[in-house]
Structure 1
Amino acid sequence: MSGRVIATSDNATGGKISRQINVVLRNPEPPAPLAEPEQLVGGKPVPATGKLGDIFRELEQMVGLECVKDIVFEVYALLQIGLIRAEVGLLQSAQVFHMVFKGNPGTGKTTVARIVARLFQEMGVLSKGHLIEVERADLVGEYIGHTALKTREMVKKAIGGILFIDEAYSLARGGEKDFGKEAIDTLVKAMEDYKNQFVLILAGYQDEMETFLQTNPGLPSRFPIHIEFPDYSVDQLMLIADLMAKERQYVLSPQSEQKLRQHLTQEKQKFAEIFSNARYVRNTLEKSIRHQAVRLLQQQLQTYSKQELMTLRPEDLRLDKKK
């Protein structure tokens, strides 16, 4: 995968967060504080209109993520009060927003990063608010000096936004002689050189990320915000499936819902360590939509009812791994 700019919107789910915050306002001339916020989320006073209002509404619509919602509001509140303090001549405390996201695949890490990027842009922390998503292959080169060059290029692309490194622990897998170490060292230097200009988010499995942070003595202290993304419950996964189906204008029949629930329960039990959560649900749903299309076409009907075109039946949910 090559580094790329990703649009900062989508729905996501579930999360748990540590409360470590030592968050530098990166815009020396922040916008004026918003007026008359409205209680929208769990009694929290957040904007009712505009782009910030859209961000918080999107956050509210997510399945789970209660602790994530709390921490996003805390960051918003910190920034908003900082603007008010500046208006009355008080100092703004130094802030660092680099983060570590820990969790299995499909638990909403990338989507949360997109929303954070949008929030930071609206609050004046980041000038562009875009997200550059990369992995090891985008940072590590094939010869001495190549890695530092590739890594610096990705950092420069992320200026004004967020650099999101998925499976970041892979940078440390090759040992001392691996070029991944050079990428880590380059990132640490870039965090100093461009500390007011981009935010770095490292993401990956929880245990691997804990080990990774110990590979460079400069890493742990540079990431004050740690977010843990737990696997979803079966009930949450079923809600995600329902939302995904509605977005595509499909519905699961009651029999299909029962079949999917049983299947997800079994998959979580069998593959707890590698189960891909919402990603698995999305792939299963999209595969079922393809099977429904084949079934309908083979009926060779003159007309199809709207309900028939929307309904996913049990036979459409072919839940074996090969089909």
Structure 2
Amino acid sequence: MINNRELNENKKINNEENIRILMKELDNLIGLKSVKKLSREIQAYITIQNKRKEEQLATEPMVLHMIFKGNPGTGKTTVARLLGKIFCAMGVLERGHVVEVERADLVGEYIGHTAVKVREHIKKSLGGIMFIDEAYSLARGGEKDFGKEAIDAMVKGMEDYKENLILILAGYKEEMEKFLKTNPGLKSRFPIHIEFPDYSLDELIRIAEVMLEKRQYKLSISAKAKLLKIISQKRLEDKQNSGNARLVRNIIERAIRKQAVRLQNSGSFTREDLMILKREDITEG
């Protein structure tokens, strides 16, 4: 018979293997060097705090609330979901799920409504991560706006459930910094700040190639050149979304649809044709 000690040992081994797999998944994400570095630091910190606890040494409370700063499509939500799984495998969170919310989910329409909505979403998030995108929108509005009430209820929830909840506030860098200044006590409650830089042109092309490889497609040389040209042009036109993986995904998905129409109209195609995206398939939309 397997005793409790053996069960715990097996569970520990399984968790360590899960952590290794999840950290490898994080490492395989393109770019995000500073994010990966900080994630490793958090992982090491949690591991050492747990070891200290086992040796009955003094430990620091693990406050892991975070601020994610960056433009849309730079990997913030993807990283939050991975961190939830990693923290669950490490025993920091019971479930490791991510509840994604925005202003409309939290701010009510009448007095008292907001606090109820915030509490409901906090309860859904217990054991995992509550991820608030464009969090600065909570501080917008006039005197009759209930955004401030949402912030106050959120802060209370962080205190009440600090052992079983991680809150991540995300949004544009400048907007997030202004938002934190609106409430002096808010910044100190989020000890971890992670910046998500825009992807470089090379990184965006690699992201496109990874997306295509998973779907068993590939770009012709001229298609790759056209994709690079479109992304470069978008970078000049729209600096805020210039390093955006969503832009790449939209172009790739549109190209796959256009290739399907092209092949169907041709009436004859090989296995190689089914995999190749040509220059004419790549469009701006």
Identity score, percent: 54
Per the TM alignment, residue 158 of structure 1 is displaced from its structure 2 partner at its CA by 0.1
Equivalent in the alignment of 2:53? 86
Q: Counterpart of 2:152?
A: 185
Cα 1:178–1:98 change in 2 (3 A) is same
Aligned to 1:277: 244
Q: 1:140 aligns with which of 74, 95, 107?
A: 107
Q: Tell me, yes or no, if the aligned pair for 1:105 and 1:275 is still in contact at 8 Å.
A: no
Aligned residue for 1:213, secondary structure, equals helix
| Structure 2 counterparts to residues 35-184 of structure 1, below 5 A | 50-184=17-151
Tell me whether 1:244 sits opposite 2:211 in the alignment.
Answer: yes
Note the residue ranges of structure 2 that are not aligned, 5 or more in a row.
1-7
1:49 Cα offset (Å): 6.4
The reply on whether 1:228 has 2:195 as its aligned counterpart is: yes
Displacement after TM superposition at 1:194 (Å): 1.1
Aligned to 1:306: 271
CA contact (8 A) 1:171 1:184 kept: yes
Question: Is contact 1:253–1:312 with CA below 8 Å preserved after alignment?
Answer: yes
- 1:93 Cα deviation after fit: 1.3
Task: Give the structure 2 partner of residue 197 of structure 1.
Answer: 164
2:102 and 2:63 mapped to 1: Cα distance? 23
Aligned to 1:258: 225
Q: Distance in 2 between matches of 1:312 and 1:204?
A: 34
- Tell which deviates more after alignment, 83-92 or 141-150: 83-92
1:145, CA displacement in angstroms? 1.3
Deviation at 1:233, TM superposition (A): 0.7
- Give 1:175 shift: 3.2
Query: Aligned partner of 1:94: which letter?
Result: P
Residue 4 (structure 2) aligns with: none
* 1:113 partner letter: A
Aligned to 2:194, the other structure's residue is in SS state: strand
1:317 is matched with: 282
Task: Name the amino acid aligned to 1:252.
Answer: L
Q: What corresponds to 2:253 in structure 1?
A: 286
Distance in 1, matches of 2:28 and 2:103, equals: 32
Task: Give distance in 2, aligned partners of 1:174 and 1:246.
Answer: 45
**Contact 1:134–1:165 (CA under 8 A) maintained in structure 2:** yes
Shift of 1:48: 11
Partner SS for 2:31:
coil
Q: Deviations over 1:177-204 (max 9, x none)?
A: 2111111111011111111110000000
Q: CA deviation at 1:176?
A: 3.3
Matched residues in 1 for 2:129 and 2:45: separation? 19
Measured against aligned partners, the alpha-carbon deviations of 1:19-49 in whole angstroms (never above 9, x if no partner) come to xxxxxxxxxxxx87967xxxxxxxxxxx996
Residue 52 of structure 1 aligns to a residue whose secondary structure is helix
Secondary structure, counterpart of 1:197 in structure 2: coil
Structure with higher helix content = 2
Query: How far is 1:284 from its partner?
Result: 0.7
Alignment of 1:5-20 (within 5 A): none
Equivalent-residue separation in structure 1 for 2:281 and 2:51 (angstroms): 56
Mark the runs of 5 or more structure 1 residues left unpaired by the alignment. Answer: 1-30, 36-46
Tell me, yes or no, if the aligned pair for 2:128 and 2:165 is still in contact at 8 Å: yes
Deviation at 1:235, TM superposition (A): 0.6
SS of the equivalent of 2:69 reads strand
State the aligned residue count: 277
TM-score (norm. length: structure 1):
0.82
- Cα distance in 2 between the residues matched to 1:283 and 1:118: 27
Deviation at 1:90, TM superposition (A): 1.0
